Amino acid sequence: MAEEKKFDETITQITQQLDLLLNDNSVPRNVKSALDEAKKALAQKESYAVRASTATYKIDEVSNDINLPPYARTVIWNILSLLESVKETN
């Protein structure tokens, strides 16, 4: 039960960071599309590991986009790190 709460808090933190990037006008549209898909994957009723894996896949596709602002890339790397922590402990 405590672990579920920890995962929920981590997913909430990831979602907040995704929202930050989704609302940023300097983030390219194709990146926003992938981030939105990742956000939707995190909201599914699957296991934490499946949700984290799906979101990681979506975000990893655009993490090296040439048009991505440097700070946004740093936020994305942080999100990927948080997703890995969810996947590993599950």
Question: Residue 2's pLDDT is what?
Answer: 77
Residue type, 12: T
pLDDT at 90: 62
Across 3-89, the runs of DSSP E, i.e. the strands, are none
Into how many domains does the chain fold?
1
Judge contact between 34 and 63, C-beta under 8 A: no
pLDDT tens profile 62-77:
999 999 999 999 999 9
The tokens of 10 are what? 């981590």
* 82: CATH: 1.20.1440.50
pLDDT digits (tens, 9 = 90+) for 33-51: 999 999 999 999 999 899 9
**Which structural domain, as residue segments, surrounds residue 38?**
2-88
User: Rounded to whole angstroms, how far apart are CA atoms 35 and 32?
Assistant: 5
> Average pLDDT of 12-28?
96
pLDDT at 25 over 70: yes
Q: Quote the mean pLDDT of the chain.
A: 92
Residue 52 and residue 56: Cα distance in Å, rounded?
6
> In this structure, what DSSP letter does residue 42 have?
H
4-8, 17-21, 49-53, 61-65: segment of lowest average pLDDT: 4-8
